[in-house]
Amino acid sequence: MGQTLYEKVWQEHLVQSGEGQLDQIFIDTHLIHEVTSPQAFSMLRDRGLPVRYPERTIATVDHIIPTDNVSRPFQDPEAEAMLQALESNVDEHQIRYFPIGSPEQGIVHVMAPEQGLIRPGMTVACGDSHTSTHGAFGAIAFGIGTSQVRDVLASQTLLMPKLKVRRIEVTGRLRAGVTAKDLILHIIGRLGAKGGVGFAYEYGGSAITKMTMTERMTLCNMSIEGGARCGYVNPDLVTLRYLAGRAFTPIDSIEALQERWLSYASDSDAHYDDRITVDGNRIEPMLTWGTSPDQSVSFKGRIPNSISLGDAKSYMGWQDNQPIAGTPVDVAFIGSCTNGRFEDFLLVSQAIKGHKVASSIKRALAVPGSSEVARRAEESGIADIFRDAGFEWRQPGCSMCLAMNPDRLLGNEICASSSNRNFKGRQGSPEGRTLLMSPLAVAAAAVTGKVSDPREVFKI
């Protein structure tokens, strides 16, 4: 019987089998940022250990960046301290680091693929749950906790349970105005926020094959919001084309390498622990109404009546059965490691040309996911389209996705957000309310001032 990509990569990286318990696996690439690495380095220091393979660790800064003014020292002393710790650790251990102002810096999950650091068949770890993003390249990529960051720094290996694999087959193709974000919100809504616990998700089928790498990254990014530690797409020509010519893509014997990369794809007779099929033609633009990523509806939908959802409904301030379209929105945020890539801004710029952010919107933020996204958006005039429409065009960082920098909601503001988490207080205010949706749908909310189907607003 054939093997899945997951099994092939796992086997190739197995250092020691735990015989059904935890396996020890080798980690090819370790990404680190300022939030989860300082403590791991301290633990290493306490034991007098060096970093085992410094050349396999790559550092950047993303969460704590004040996106309107990056001058140092930061006003927030805690943020400043985190960054100083990162700076001294990368210095001491000779780790490659992309600081603020460098052309490579960015949200770790935007920056690393852009630089060609993630390739098919790799194992990738980072002290950040959205490391699942990198599975878009046919890599096995997962988030780890701080003590595991220590383990990878010290040994370049991890003790991990081997996951089961669920094939998610998406047939047909997404219709115009329907994006990868809508698809993943639909999948999480169907399988539940914990539905993927114990599984790696393999996304395949014609709708996935047709997706760009940017769309595949959006999809894999939110696997963790569905409970799956990692999600991946089998490598194909789209993957190879994306990787060609990137800064860290190897040049030597590239053809032989490409052949090897494609060989990691799951065999046609591979066994899956579970399979589900999604009809891609029937996916509608989706948004979340609640405080968990699986609480979603289409833009034509209504708030569910179910009593068990009462807590989320009262936090969000909904009435039973209320139509979600037309709900006034205070803040619009386009960015994050889910939807802060160049193609996300390109798509929105084509839609918003000639539109203006509604006067009732208190803040509309467009935050590029990396310096590279920012550079390309400036050079192509896309950043100006956002500015002309009334968005604030910011410096790259995590920004309003989570409250570790000054970009936050105030009071019980409602935010139309292209990010990936809608937990209570996630965007900084203990009463703040987040509606997750595609960047196109955020733009539709920004220009109308209310929750609106982007296909109607932009005549798609």
Q: Using CB under 6 A, list all residues that contact ligand SF4.
A: 62-63, 107, 109, 128, 130, 336-337, 398, 401-402, 419-420
Q: Which residues pair with residue 48 across a beta bridge?
A: none
The minimum distance between CB 254 and ligand IPM, in angstroms, equals 33
Count of positions (residues) in the chain = 460
295 vs 327, beta carbon nearer ligand SF4: 295
Q: Provide the minimum distance between the beta carbon of 182 and ligand IPM in the complex, in angstroms, as a whole number.
A: 20
Residue 35's binding partner out of ligand SF4, ligand IPM, none, with CB under 5 to 8 Å set by partner kind: ligand IPM
Shortest approach of ligand IPM to residue 132 CB, angstroms? 10
CA distance 333 to 370: 16
Question: Per the omega criterion (within 30 degrees of 0), is the bond before 406 cis?
Answer: no
Q: Per residue in 43-70, is it b (16+ CB within 10 Å) or e — as a string?
A: bbeeeeeebbebebbbbbbbbbbbbeeb
Q: Which is nearer to ligand SF4, 149 or 402 (CB)?
A: 402
Can you tell me whether residue 343 is helix, strand or coil?
helix
Which CB atom, from 221 or from 266, has the smaller least distance to ligand SF4? Answer: 221
- Binding status of residue 35 toward ligand IPM by CB under 6 A: yes
- Select the binding partner of residue 336 from ligand SF4, ligand IPM, none (C-beta < 5 to 8 A, by kind): ligand SF4
Other Cβ atoms less than 10 A from the Cβ of 22: the count is: 14
- Partner interacting with residue 413 (select from ligand SF4, ligand IPM, none; CB below 5-8 Å by kind): none
Residue whose CB is less far from ligand IPM, 29 or 131: 131
8 binds ligand IPM per the rule CB under 6 A = no
User: Which helix (H) or strand (E) covers residue 164, if one does?
Assistant: strand 164-171
Give CA–CA dist 9/383, Å, rounded.
39
Question: From ligand IPM, ligand SF4, none, which one binds at residue 36 (CB under 5 to 8 Å depending on kind)?
Answer: ligand IPM
Q: Which does 38 bind (CB under 5 to 8 A by kind): ligand IPM, ligand SF4, none?
A: none
143 contact choice in ligand SF4, ligand IPM, none (CB below 5 to 8 Å, kind-dependent): ligand IPM
By CB under 6 A, is residue 36 in contact with ligand IPM?
yes
- Applying CB under 6 A, does 63 fall inside the site for ligand IPM? yes
Nearest 5°: phi and psi at 201? -95, 125
Stretch that binds ligand IPM, among 81-89, 128-136, 160-168, 238-246 (CB under 6 A): 128-136
3-state helix, strand, coil in the chain (%, to 5): 35, 20, 45
CA distance 334 to 416: 9
Kindly state the smallest distance separating residue 130's Cβ from ligand SF4, in Å: 5
Q: Which residues pair with 97 in a beta bridge?
A: 59
Q: Does position 128 bind ligand IPM by CB under 6 A?
A: yes
Least spacing, CB of residue 145 vs ligand IPM, in Å: 9
Quick one: three-class SS letters along 82-146? HHHHHHHHHHHCCCEEECCCCCCCECHHHHHHHCCCCCCCCEEEECCHHHHHHHHHCCEEEECCH
The pair of structure tokens assigned to 204 is 């395949």
CA distance 379 to 375: 6
Residue ranges of the alpha helices (H) in 156-212? 180-191, 206-209
Q: Is position 416 an interface residue for ligand IPM (rule: CB under 6 A)?
A: no
State yes or no: residue 364 binds ligand IPM (CB under 6 A).
no
Using CB under 6 A, list all residues that contact ligand IPM: 35-36, 63, 128-130, 143, 402
